[in-house]
Amino acid sequence: MTILTGLLSLWVSGARAQEYNDEFHVLTGGLVGGINFSQVDGDGYKGYDKMGYGGGGVLFLPFGDMEMPIKDATIALSMEVLFTQKGSKGRGDIGGLVSQDMKLQYGEVPIQINLYRGTRKSGFGAGFSIGYLASSEETIDYGNGTPVLKNGYPFKKFDLNFVLTGNLHLWNGFFLSPRFQYSMLSIRDNNSRFGGRDQQFNNVVSLRLMYLFRRTMR
């Protein structure tokens, strides 16, 4: 009788874990935007001193009800389409330079696997982002007080990043969505004559606000 009771308890708890959650079966969309704090590792300067903006849309595709270590959670694939400003800004004597300012603007598509708990609970995700460089501008100052446009050694058109994102629920469908992303491949080579290293990498910390609609489409 004790064994039967134990098996029944396990069956009931398993059934509860499999309870249908409508939000785990619905494609959900939203909007996201915020501020980027960037640096370019390898340029010789340190610090997230370049500020830019980013924003766009996001979609979450949940995988349905699943037994997860965290209660009321599932796995969801997310995709974003974003405009993102990156770059670097530094002052100090680096290879004869006294200052440098990089302005990089990308269109990006981050794709992540997320611990997803619906449109009103916190979660997090990790994945990759492919970015296309829409425009770039770099000015340098050799100390004569007149910044000049740097020629040569262009940035690569594509930027592949590792992405790590937290989604902290604030109120209704609003989330604080901090993000860290780092280039997995060099965004430019053969640049050591201007100070720093030959290879350079985007390094970005973002503070974003995300809003998820409770339901969009089935």
Q: Mean pLDDT, the chain, as a whole number?
A: 85
User: What tens digit of pLDDT does each residue of 156-191 get?
Assistant: 999 999 999 999 999 999 999 999 999 999 998 866
Distance CA 127, CA 142 (A): 40
Is residue 17 situated within a structural domain? no
181-200 as b/e: b if 16+ CB within 10 A: bebeebbbeebeebbbeebb
Residue 142 is predicted with a pLDDT of 73
Provide the domain limits for residue 159: 23-212
Six token digits for residue 7: 């098996």
Q: Is the pLDDT of residue 9 over 80?
A: no
Identify the band that residue 198 occupies on the pLDDT scale cut at 50, 70 and 90. confident
Largest CA distance in the chain: 90
Is residue 197 situated within a structural domain? yes
Is residue 79 situated within a structural domain? yes
Residue 145 is predicted with a pLDDT of 67
Residue 4 is predicted with a pLDDT of 39
56-91 as b/e: b if 16+ CB within 10 A: bebbbebeebeeeeeeebbbbbbebebebbbbbbbe
Six token digits for residue 44: 């010789």
User: What tens digit of pLDDT does each residue of 37-96 get?
Assistant: 999 998 878 889 899 999 999 999 999 888 888 888 999 999 999 999 999 988 776 666
Q: Is the pLDDT of residue 149 over 80?
A: no
How many other β-carbons are positioned within 10 Å of the β-carbon of residue 134? Answer: 12
Is residue 164 situated within a structural domain? yes
Q: Is the pLDDT of residue 1 over 80?
A: no
Is residue 135 situated within a structural domain? yes
Is residue 39 situated within a structural domain? yes
The secondary structure of residue 154, as a DSSP letter, is P
Q: Give the CATH number for residue 89.
A: 2.40.160.20
Mean pLDDT value of segment 3-19: 46
How many other β-carbons are positioned within 10 Å of the β-carbon of residue 106? Answer: 25
Distance CA 194, CA 95 (A): 6
Identify the band that residue 21 occupies on the pLDDT scale cut at 50, 70 and 90. confident
Q: For a pLDDT cut of 70, what percent of the chain falls above it?
A: 80
How many other β-carbons are positioned within 10 Å of the β-carbon of residue 19? Answer: 8
Residue 15 is predicted with a pLDDT of 41
Residue 199 is predicted with a pLDDT of 87
Mean pLDDT value of segment 15-23: 66
Is residue 208 situated within a structural domain? yes
Instruction: Give the total number of structural domains in the chain.
Output: 1
Cα–Cα distances (Å) from 146 to 45, 89, 93, 98, 99, in that order, read: 20, 16, 15, 11, 10
Is residue 9 situated within a structural domain? no
Residue 135 is predicted with a pLDDT of 92
Residue 11 is predicted with a pLDDT of 40
User: What tens digit of pLDDT does each residue of 88-128 get?
Assistant: 988 776 666 777 888 999 999 999 999 999 999 999 999 99
